[in-house]
Structure 1
């Protein structure tokens, strides 16, 4: 397809926007640029001494996660919580990737199936709930700090911001270390770890390690994909710049800057809509049929020009009188990327794996965003729709573990848009919350690698059930795969009952399915509050923890939106269904003993931990929700 060329200014005005310098991945050049400080003439007035700053450090971790977007955060937190000493390396000054204040993309997931969400749980839900408690004003810069808090509070996790992984040092088919440049401290870090996770999107570490990858679009024949082009080509979905405006209460003029690119909308496709333009337009996008990474700065400059050109059209064409009092309040300078490298794993997920809902024995995540393939030309081909929206899902699909580790670099895993899949499959799974589930999966798998001294492929072959059970215990959901943890003592109970029942059955809390899905009820719901739930064993059991999963209404989205939408599909507050206050008792020698209480619960997965005891029964007293008149639970587990 021939791209429409609106770019009139040339490339002379292109300037670097990134905080971190982009350094060639050539092994020969890296050392010459970064390691030689012999010409650094430092004279310290306080000590009166001359010297060379020591800006090289070697650090050791169990797991190194590269990329601090939603997928990377979930990978790092999962690894750390499961016992691995973990480092999270992020090349920006803030976390969140496309969802950060630098880009402000909605953290979408399975937003709309038959008019309902099927929201992701686990770590990504924890983050979104944390934001609902800490950021009621829905500020994107505050969201940066919410994510920062979520990461740095983990005791087993080290965060390195403003740091880019620039080169893998290899030992055979393994990454021995990652060389990382921290721009703010002028420090070259050598990070040693037995397991690496590249969730950086573009995947520079994986590429420099020699991991196989591809770019562009597969032709129809390779994977029998209905929506692929007839022949393969190099097109990759583009990056977008967003903006937002503010109503100033009086007429506001707008004069475009010198780099603006004139936009007229002449011949524009009818699906290029301006609805909600005050909060940004997602189709201000530029793609590439060549080296989309190498062209990033050229495309960034174009996008800045197009952004102002479109806003000039809105303000000054006369077609939008409702924009008279609007003024730009925020403009993006860092484009939000959709596609570049896709690494090759032991399995490549393709279109029909999703549309035909293929069952994977090694499923570890799920998705359900539409096959949302953007027009290859982006805003440079406005006669085409901005996205084709080939296929809308009515139920979620599985995503396999074999697509989350490298085919030829044995200790490398990945999560996010760079995983092993076709271009058409990427058009659905690239959504951030879906990527986050992949992140939690590989972060958890990394801990299995370390515990058992195995590589990711062996986890997939010999320990996949253990990985799936760990994920589901940590409140990830795997479609069509009920949990059946042999260590869960709740499943060995002789009786479970509630003080009252409005819907469902207390026995549902033991069936291993932690949500209502596919038309089936998997919950117990009380008739009013206070309510009680009791578990009995015929013989005493050793117990030290009780875990339950409460209702947070996964049929409704809770991610932050620029329009602060609040309706049946989106909520802009803490879910009213979530359990707020509860307590736990155990029966020992015929008497009830208090084991703990929680007054301001903030998570779907609730855990009570206590000194080991022998008991024949436990009782939960469910006192208060965040607004619902009844309480709903989906699972209870007990462990010694």
Structure 2
């Protein structure tokens, strides 16, 4: 069987082609849950010097949750947080000591998304949970330390009610009941503890997808033939090539001449012998094109790839420092060198829809759209740095507008209770070349986490959510500030839709009546906001008859045409910033007219999110007023949406 073909294992069978696992997935009928498959500790014979006792420690745990998310990259974080915010007991399992995946301090890949669109190269930045994370970092890590970033992510996760975290833990196998995962079998290497984790729904956001593969979820590796999905940029014949992993570095100006001698394992590099598109633009950031891929089993080859990358990255730095071709390198030294390669591609699991190049470039409209992307078709060359004749990436196609990602590509078509988010979703190799960037993956994560919670609440599998509760899923996502292109919000529970009259103290642009038009940003050149001409300012809404309210949700401005992730340089200040967005509202309050008098029912003095929520004891009123008192620097303020609910908004 060619590696690009479907790879499938039955519940009791091993994974086809022998990829990664040597043990079979476990049938509930074949194994008792306490038959440890990793280490049962039977030969342990510890002597505790404190009390002289001998014996073996108990390091086996059975735990139960409603939703288990495997993989603590940005997709997994957003999935776990989204699930927990729906009030569902959720566990996030991460195989490293830090969260963030490719974005963590171990790897340091930029959190790219829809960074720039033709013709003006302006972003259409992601909102929702991923924006909350990036704003949380802006407030708590202004020095842009990657080590602090790790702790920002840790804080973002562990502060969430209904969410628990297991670090240093890998899901290595599963226990199945029919075509459903019953338990994830996990090993925590830091405590030598085996976990058997039961759940109703599982979300695999781990990239390589060992949990999903162990369950027998169908997947592909390699490149499809162009004829299979009518893809212009795919090869004529299918092959096993997968984009490679990269190893990054960081240089620092030491203020004095600093010598560099390469280590023994450095691999010589000469930029003059390379394709001219391979550039050295600065000395303080790494080079993504220091990359090694595979046309075979990229997972099994991980150690070999890592060794090569460590050699290549030193060879590149040796050339920069010692070739004499670059002015200004004398004072630069390596401040940080990665040891964990950041992988771009391995398994892609098959869902009810396989996202393809044509879906992206033709901007296919999906009734079940839940996320979007717009990074270029950025397919790296076969061979990476070992293929210097070709450019490091082809950048086949640059988008003028964003494309949609359907929910049917985010769940397994043959495992009933399995979803996935990130680079392992149901898509072709060419589609992956765009969707793999982390802010896009994070949007998928918010969608699958929310969907997993709905599965629990409605006692459905993911396909059942698609068939019966798709609109509910989309409305929840948009309520929680995810943006779905060409899908305006139509929440039937939003009482702002019944407002008889909107009025504002001042208007510079837009229209106050746009605050309930269903759009949470200006889009495709059409305004969907109300902007003040000064601060303080207020907006007021009037109902024809009293309404019962206990929750108000606002969407303010954070300038989604500006990227806010950390970077190693900010040469392009037009679309990248290293500050908190000055447009963000900081101080505001909410008033209601009750029995003919204006009463303050909510005050926020240090707001740090685009989506602002007021929950309060139920009131009856005919009028509300939002008073805007201060931003983080802008002299005007914008609102895009005001929603009103009888019940408190919990998520």
Q: Which residue matches 1:392?
A: 398
Q: In structure 1, what is the Cα distance between the partners aligned to 2:545 and 2:150?
A: 50
Q: Is the CA contact 2:25–2:176 (under 8 Å) kept in the aligned structure 1?
A: no
Q: Which residue matches 2:7?
A: none
Taking structure 1 as reference, are residues 544 and 32 closer, same or farther at Cα in structure 2, changes over 3 Å only? closer
Q: Which residue matches 2:496?
A: 490
Q: Which residue matches 1:5?
A: none
Matches within 5 A, 1:555-634: 555-565=561-571, 567-634=573-640
Q: In structure 2, what is the Cα distance between the partners aligned to 1:620 and 1:313?
A: 59
Q: Is the CA contact 1:263–1:306 (under 8 Å) kept in the aligned structure 2?
A: yes
Could you say what secondary structure the match of 2:471 adopts?
helix
1:458 aligns with 2:458: no
How far off is 1:264 after superposition? Answer: 1.9
255-264 or 562-571: which moved more?
A: 562-571
Q: Is the CA contact 1:524–1:634 (under 8 Å) kept in the aligned structure 2?
A: yes
Matches within 5 A, 1:71-110: 71-110=75-114
Q: Is the CA contact 1:404–1:415 (under 8 Å) kept in the aligned structure 2?
A: yes
Choose the corresponding residue for 2:53, options 49, 52, 57.
49
CA-to-partner distance for each residue in 1:583-614, whole Å, 9 max, x for gaps? 00101121111101100100000001100011
Taking structure 1 as reference, are residues 25 and 322 closer, same or farther at Cα in structure 2, changes over 3 Å only? farther
Matches within 5 A, 1:442-591: 442-565=448-571, 567-591=573-597
Choose the corresponding residue for 2:287, options 281, 287, 299.
281
Taking structure 1 as reference, are residues 331 and 359 closer, same or farther at Cα in structure 2, changes over 3 Å only? same
1:195 aligns with 2:201: yes
Q: Is the CA contact 2:21–2:214 (under 8 Å) kept in the aligned structure 1?
A: no
1:334 aligns with 2:340: yes
Q: Which residue matches 1:256?
A: 262
How far off is 1:563 after superposition? Answer: 1.4
28-37 or 489-498: which moved more?
A: 28-37
How far off is 1:565 after superposition? Answer: 5.0
Q: In structure 2, what is the Cα distance between the partners aligned to 1:289 and 1:112?
A: 31
Q: Which residue matches 2:409?
A: 403
Q: In structure 2, what is the Cα distance between the partners aligned to 1:381 and 1:321?
A: 27
Q: In structure 1, what is the Cα distance between the partners aligned to 2:527 and 2:426?
A: 34
Could you say what secondary structure the match of 1:545 adopts?
strand
Taking structure 1 as reference, are residues 179 and 32 closer, same or farther at Cα in structure 2, changes over 3 Å only? closer
How far off is 1:506 after superposition? Answer: 0.7
Could you say what secondary structure the match of 1:298 adopts?
helix
Q: In structure 2, what is the Cα distance between the partners aligned to 1:498 and 1:321?
A: 57
Q: In structure 2, what is the Cα distance between the partners aligned to 1:88 and 1:225?
A: 36
Unmatched runs of 5 consecutive residues or more in structure 1: 1-21
CA-to-partner distance for each residue in 1:600-632, whole Å, 9 max, x for gaps? 100000001100011000001100001111110
CA-to-partner distance for each residue in 1:309-349, whole Å, 9 max, x for gaps? 11111111111132111111100000001000000000000
Could you say what secondary structure the match of 1:575 adopts?
coil
The TM-score normalised by the length of structure 2 is 0.94
Q: In structure 2, what is the Cα distance between the partners aligned to 1:565 and 1:543?
A: 48
Q: Which residue matches 2:151?
A: 145
Q: In structure 1, what is the Cα distance between the partners aligned to 2:556 and 2:90?
A: 29
Q: Is the CA contact 2:36–2:194 (under 8 Å) kept in the aligned structure 1?
A: no
Could you say what secondary structure the match of 2:273 adopts?
coil
Unmatched runs of 5 consecutive residues or more in structure 2: 1-19, 647-651
Could you say what secondary structure the match of 1:515 adopts?
coil
How far off is 1:24 after superposition? Answer: 4.6
Q: Which residue matches 2:43?
A: 39
Q: Which residue matches 2:3?
A: none
Q: Is the CA contact 1:565–1:571 (under 8 Å) kept in the aligned structure 2?
A: no
CA-to-partner distance for each residue in 1:156-178, whole Å, 9 max, x for gaps? 10010000010011111000000
How far off is 1:265 after superposition? Answer: 2.8
Q: Is the CA contact 1:565–1:572 (under 8 Å) kept in the aligned structure 2?
A: no
Q: Is the CA contact 1:25–1:166 (under 8 Å) kept in the aligned structure 2?
A: no
Alignment size in residue pairs: 619
Could you say what secondary structure the match of 1:119 adopts?
coil
Q: In structure 2, what is the Cα distance between the partners aligned to 1:137 and 1:439?
A: 28
CA-to-partner distance for each residue in 1:94-122, whole Å, 9 max, x for gaps? 00001100001110110001321100000
Q: In structure 1, what is the Cα distance between the partners aligned to 2:306 and 2:529?
A: 49
Q: In structure 2, what is the Cα distance between the partners aligned to 1:565 and 1:212?
A: 44
Q: In structure 2, what is the Cα distance between the partners aligned to 1:354 and 1:420?
A: 14
Q: Which residue matches 2:64?
A: 60
How far off is 1:244 after superposition? Answer: 0.6
How far off is 1:33 after superposition? Answer: 5.8
Q: Is the CA contact 2:184–2:198 (under 8 Å) kept in the aligned structure 1?
A: yes
1:186 aligns with 2:229: no
1:116 aligns with 2:122: yes
Root mean square deviation of aligned Cα: 1.3
Moved over 6 A (4+): 28-32
The TM-score normalised by the length of structure 1 is 0.95
Q: Which residue matches 1:432?
A: 438
412-421 or 584-593: which moved more?
A: 584-593
How far off is 1:48 after superposition? Answer: 2.2
Could you say what secondary structure the match of 1:220 adopts?
coil
